[in-house]
A = this chain, B = another copy of it.
Amino acid sequence: MKIAICQLNYTVGDIEGNTLKILDAYNKSVADGADLAIFSELSICGYPPQDLLDYPHFIEKCGQALSQLAEITEDTAMIVGCPVYSQLEMGKKLYNSAIVLRHGKIHEVFSKTLLPTYNIFDEYRYFEPNHEFKLLEFNGIKIAITVCEDLWDLDEPKLYKVSPMEQLKPLGPDLLINISGSPFSYKHIENRGELMRQNALKFDIPLFYVNQVGANTDILFDGGSMFINRDGVIAEELEYFKEDYKLVNWQPDMSYQSHSHNYKNDDIALIYNALKMGIADYFGKSGFKKAILGLSGGLDSAVVTAITADAIGVKNVLPVLLPSKFSSDHSINDSVALCQNLGMHYETIAIKDTVHSFESLLEPLFKNTQRGVAEENIQARTRGNILMALSNKFGHILLNTTNKSEAAVGYGTLYGDMCGGISVLGDVYKTQVYKLAQYINRNGEIIPQNILTKPPSAELSPGQKDSDSLPDYDLLDKILYLYIENLLGPEAIIAKGFDAAIVNKIIKMVDRNEYKRFQVPPILRVSDKAFGIGRQMPVVGRIN
């Protein structure tokens, strides 16, 4: 039996485009003599469709696309993902389904049982869980068909009361298929392969796992679809961070060689590739071609420039140097050196006069006050205004360069350097940004060495350094990680040996800056716990 694993990059809501992609891959599988072509979760509408699912006309359009796909099927079957009405008299209206299309019609529907509703997932918002367990009989083979989370219940304690595979195994399946929309995280990729292996081993069954690839705004999908033999051997693995297709000639009693991984098991390389894909798809799927960003001479904007150049091409990135009277010579020189290393055109716009104009305007109200955050922010917002004016005039999208450490403690100016259409580094701690820079320089200097070695500074007041306001990033990031990723409270963090005053100060800063994070652009998500929809905290209220 020949099974085609079709790993595609879908666009949320683009039913027509997604259907055409599915059709192309299906036609290829037919030409290859496949018996079955499998596509990922909610492939027709793209994942995650969010509240588009609340619109009846959207569900109808999905249904029409499904019927059109069904009509062209002949002996080669396909399994696609689509929301379908439940037809039940009670409960949520929709199922998240894997639908078998064959011989010109909708052959059979299998729906998702386990609906993840935590972190970035909110499937119980839309879907009714499946309660009917059955196998697909296909050319004499019995196939268990599951959707994503349905296989993610091996860990103790159990999050779900029903185990789909415990229900399906007694029915005697020969083969297990899982259609998935499993987001990337640099912590997740290894776990996912291992979990799928454990499923194959535990239920003594060969497993075809098909994931989507590509970015839908902030949520990144890395692909890495697999065929795993019943002995837990990963026999086939599709590419990461790109579309792929693989025809597997599967025989019930055949044994398979282990396949070496298609990804480098290196957090920083994974993050780099994920961000590159995230940027490319943000532009590709929104129809914009060109990016603009402010180049400060610091690490973050340098790293964003380099990754974006790799993602959408050097010619499509416009860095703008916006020196103020506090900008050091090295900021300008380092930025210029970066652009030269990349062969990239840049613009320079000195903001001094405009900042001065603001200060004159405000002088009557500001007189007798001390220079401080207000004056610093005027500079950052003047830069934001200039970058947005260029964006509005020429159609570039502004990239936000705030890193996760800054976003966490609110070290940034709302409507200033926190502007942008998409945040590239908002889920990357500063200590990781350093490593990204080293990764970018792995084959020769792109990011000038001085950017890596000089002390970080916002350069909004004379001689300012990040370390004036913040602990060293090594220490800061450790504490932030324990608070944000590990969900430890201040007492538990202090109990790990950190200084109580520093821990309390940092956690207060994180809590107090929810209002800033509420207004940041979508953040490309690379970790298990990113700011955004996956971490919903009160803006007004007391947290600790």
Contacts and interface: CB of A to CB of B under 8 A. Distances in A.
A348 B520 CA distance: 30
Contacts of A453: none
Contact of A386 (B51, B358, B392, B543): B358
A381 interface: yes
Given A46-B541, A89-B157, A536-B51, A492 B57 contact: yes
Interface stretch (A6-14, A140-148, A199-207): A6-14
Interface in A490-544: 490-492, 515, 518-522, 533, 535-543
Interface string A353-373: 110011011100110010011
A217 interface: yes
Given A519-B521, A541-B216, A542-B11, A159 B361 contact: no
B50 A536 contact: yes
Interface string A120-162: 0010110000000000000000000000000000000111110
Interface stretch (A71-79, A235-243, A301-309, A413-421): A413-421
B540 A286 contact: yes
Contacts of A373: 392
A285 B541 contact: yes
A540 B284 CA distance: 10
A171 interface: no
Nearest to A158: B90
Given A381-B385, A540-B216, A415 B419 contact: yes
23 contacts: A11-B540, A13-B538, A50-B538, A52-B537, A55-B487, A55-B489, A89-B157, A90-B157, A117-B117, A215-B540, A216-B538, A216-B541, A349-B362, A353-B361, A354-B358, A357-B357, A361-B386, A362-B386, A377-B392, A382-B385, A415-B415, A421-B515, A515-B521
